[in-house]
Amino acid sequence: EAQVTQNPRYLITVTGKKLTVTCSQNMNHEYMSWYRQDPGLGLRQIYYSMNVEVTDKGDVPEGYKVSRKEKRNFPLILESPSPNQTSLYFCASSPDRGLIYEQFFGPGTRLTVL
Amino acid sequence: KQEVTQIPAALSVPEGENLVLNCSFTDSAIYNLQWFRQDPGKGLTSLLLIQSSQREQTSGRLNASLDKSSGRSTLYIAASQPGDSATYLCAVRNSGYSTLTFGKGTMLLVSP
């Protein structure tokens, strides 16, 4: 089944403890992206990657890192999480930059930083 | 900077009604516009994608239109059903960028 998977789905952590949220797609998509969703603010793009070893900042990149060493994986790294990073996170992928084809979203990761 | 607005923020209708959800964007220089559905606690499901050169797209009971010059899109749902209850999001792909800008969504409730 074609899908985007994220792990973990739920995570509660404490301020300053480094964490990684994994994202993997099995559709051989070139483009991958991370979003966060907050009440009243909607979905905002954090980082995106147009291909292996190519990443770029979205609208809200502060406090996050990403890497794209393999085409299928695009982990989101929080080096020193803070409470304002408590949010619902979504990973997405598409065959191109989204110019022609739609984006497919993962199920989401709910992160709470205490 | 692109801004996307969705009106209304919430909508409650009885089953069987036809309804229209609205999306407007401030910068008309877009590649495409995509409509999504989000169920509570779940991810996003793509409904329709309209390229900037297109005027509308249809899928089953859904019809999305795009008026790029005026910065507007509508999602028309025919003969609504309780299973259509969800939050509907529109998002624009901005020209010259690889970023996607979302509206805050319309929460739809269809009552039996």
| Residue whose C-alpha is closest to residue B82's, from B20, B35, B16 | B16
Minimum CA–CA partner of A102 in chain B: B49
Q: What distance in Å separates residue A99's CA from the closest CA in chain B? A: 6
The pLDDT assigned to A81 comes to 97
pLDDT digits (tens, 9 = 90+) for B32-63: 999 999 998 788 999 999 999 999 999 999 99
pLDDT digits (tens, 9 = 90+) for B9-26: 999 999 999 999 999 999
Q: Find where tokens 């619902």 sit.
A: A88
Average pLDDT score, chain A: 93
The pLDDT assigned to A97 comes to 66
The pLDDT assigned to B40 comes to 85
Written as six digits, the tokens of A87 are 């949010």
The SS3 call for residue B22 is: strand
Q: Find the length of chain A.
A: 114
Q: Find where tokens 């998977």 sit.
A: A5
Interface test with B, best of A90, A105, A110 (most B CBs within 10 A): A105
Minimum CA–CA partner of B47 in chain A: A102
Please report residues of B whose CB lies closer than 8 A to that of A42.
89, 102-105
CA quadruple A63, A7, A22, B101: dihedral sign? negative
Q: How many CB pairs under 8 A join A and B?
A: 59
Interface test with B, best of A45, A60, A88 (most B CBs within 10 A): A45
| Residue whose C-alpha is closest to residue B46's, from B102, B95, B111 | B102
B85 band by pLDDT with thresholds 50, 70 and 90: very high
Please report residues of B whose CB lies closer than 8 A to that of A2.
none
Contact A42 B89 (CB under 8 A): yes
Give the DSSP per-residue string, A43-110: EEEEEEEEETTEEEE-S--TT-EE--SSSSB--EEESS--GGG-EEEEEEEESSSSSSSPPEE---EE
The average pLDDT across B88-102 equals: 84
Chain A within 8 Å of B62 (Cβ-Cβ)? no
pLDDT over 90 at B96, yes or no:
no
In which residue ranges of chain A is pLDDT below 70? 97-100
Minimum CA–CA partner of B49 in chain A: A102
The pLDDT assigned to B89 comes to 96
The pLDDT assigned to B104 comes to 95
The DSSP secondary-structure symbol of A39 reads: T
Q: Is B24:B91 a contact under the CB 8 Å cutoff?
A: no
The pLDDT assigned to B43 comes to 87
> Whole-angstrom Cα distance, residue A42 to residue B12?
20
- Higher-pLDDT residue of B5 and A94 is B5
Q: Find where tokens 């009604």 sit.
A: B17
B1 band by pLDDT with thresholds 50, 70 and 90: confident
Q: Is B83 exposed, middle or buried (0-12, 13-18, 19+ CB in 10 A)?
A: exposed
Q: Is A58 exposed, middle or buried (0-12, 13-18, 19+ CB in 10 A)?
A: buried
Average pLDDT score, chain B: 93
Interface test with B, best of A44, A100, A102, A104 (most B CBs within 10 A): A102
